[in-house]
Chain A
């Protein structure tokens, strides 16, 4: 992982690991929490909960539609089910079940999608969840979170359980740089300002927060000050932080490890367009599927880098 190098970040654990550990902790104190797995618990790290709480852990098999329905039934009977699988399979394979069995009846199901983004690398496009945020955001009432590092993921997992209603938490496979220490202030719907600046704003989530911090460092060397927002919650979006960014700086670059349409970029643009239209640029996977290959090399090839964010920011600042 080269992201975060320029910003001097140190490596931490994968966000799936942080999710798994937090879920295990929560499981020890909250008997209402149950896990429904689609035979990938060793990958999602939900198995750590399962080993401690076998009676509250249900592997329904490779059957994501049923996974969602079982979680919905458990929620309707008062449990707090965590429905965890790969982001690609959870959101895409069982989208109508999430729509009808979870979102429409507002059931308290906690969706967790792992292995999101193109940085999973060698396994290729079939395993890469890159449309998950768009799908989740489309559903009324769904809270959608894409935390950047292990400490914020731990907080996100805790708040997901405390929140009453359907949520989607996106986590990744590989180790990622540390953005925070363990006392990170994390609130659903409230962006974290990681760095302040007056020239341009970089809005990112997940892995791209590290890239945004790299970009800010690169821009600083040129005398351009960038505000960096960790927009860990895509829905509900932090409208106030975005409005302030539009007013205080010359424009916004949005960076995400997701397809162009319907993700963080779309949400930021539609939010800003209503009240504070400003220059906006996007760094994302575009309108294309990725391919198999080394994760770092893929990020480079698809432009998910600090350098690309900096280039777009420069253009905004220079007009």
Chain B
């Protein structure tokens, strides 16, 4: 798909990014569990997609046929998705602090049947890109002009299905599919470097036939430009390797990957929020 992506107000996006991080920290602290650090690495990418004019959507018409689709394949980062959907008007902001409660639709991992704007029920890693490819193929059948963005984790792409999808997408020549790898450096039990070599990720995507760029995923201007270029790329699927930090924005979270799956204890929330500013 091609389109015109005008430069957004980056000051506003920066303020929004802070606000989204505060939401993530607060809701996971309130819930007592969840994945704040995996969410915080994805903030600038998601802020750019939803609030930087990259994605076309209508919160009042979540199933609009020609909407752009965003699939959070790394479903454990649901807090940032919920924060974004609240900011975009799909859900109420006061719902955020019901995260993971038995009476809340904001489940631990996203459930598309319960939350408007959630395009795929994820949480079992590796499945989002295939679903994204299905959506992308549909655009041609229906003669619709939309993009599909799929965000995966840097550990998640160890799943074989990701590469099945990557191979097929290139073969089908879909140019409305964008893969984003949130390379935040850590998986559940170890730095990613202990398990696979992330310095080869870009070459792997290129070898599979994807137009691939590497960016600083916390630099809003760079992130926005890369997403706009990927959305407009018209010669096959595009991948963005976003170099990020797990827990970005709060020093004690950035330094310790054991925060994966844990909310900040309530007695340290104020300290964390203060650091975000």
Interface residues of A (CB under 8 A from B): 34, 36, 55-56, 58, 60-61, 63, 65-66, 68-79, 81, 96-97, 99-101, 104-106
Contacts and interface: CB of A to CB of B under 8 A. Distances in A.
Nearest to A69: B130
A78 B146 CA distance: 15
Contacts of B203: none
A61 B131 contact: no
A145 to B, nearest CB: 24
A69 B131 contact: yes
Contacts of B160: 65
A148 to B, nearest CB: 33
B190 interface: no
Contacts of B102: none
Given A69-B161, A105-B111, 12 more contacts: A55-B140, A61-B168, A63-B161, A65-B130, A65-B161, A66-B133, A69-B165, A73-B138, A76-B134, A78-B65, A79-B138, A96-B127
Contact of B121 (A34, A66, A79, A104): A104
B113 A105 contact: yes
B95 to A, nearest CB: 20
B141 interface: yes
B120 interface: yes
B135 A66 contact: no
A263 to B, nearest CB: 25
A97 B168 contact: no
A100 to B, nearest CB: 4
8 contacts: A55-B141, A58-B172, A60-B168, A63-B164, A69-B129, A74-B137, A97-B161, A101-B120
B61 interface: no
A96 B124 contact: yes
Contacts, number: 109
B208 to A, nearest CB: 12
Contacts of A76: 112, 119-120, 131, 134-135
A97 B135 CA distance: 16
Nearest to A81: B134
Nearest to A109: B134
Instruction: Give the residue among A68, A72, A76 with the most B Cβ atoms within 10 A.
Output: A76
A97 B138 contact: no
Which 3 residue pairs of A and B lie closest in terms of their CB atoms, listed nearest first?
A73-B134, A69-B130, A66-B164
B120 A66 contact: no
Nearest to A97: B127
B138 A105 contact: no
A100 B131 CA distance: 11
Given A55-B141, A66-B161, A100-B121, A72 B168 contact: no
B168 A63 contact: yes
Contacts of B168: 60-61, 63, 66, 70
B108 interface: no
Nearest to B131: A73
Given A60-B168, A65-B164, A66-B164, A77 B124 contact: no
Contacts of B112: 76, 105
A14 B119 CA distance: 39
B123 interface: yes
Interface in B165-195: 165, 167-168, 171-172
A138 B134 CA distance: 25
Given A74-B138, A78-B138, A101 B172 contact: no
Given A61-B164, A66-B164, A106-B113, A34 B141 contact: yes
Nearest to A103: B121
B263 interface: no
A55 B128 CA distance: 23
B132 interface: yes
B143 to A, nearest CB: 11
Contact of B120 (A81, A96, A99, A105): A105
A165 to B, nearest CB: 12
Contact of B124 (A60, A73, A100, A106): A100
Instruction: Give the residue among A71, A73, A76, A104 with the most B Cβ atoms within 10 A.
Output: A73
B130 A66 contact: yes
A140 to B, nearest CB: 12
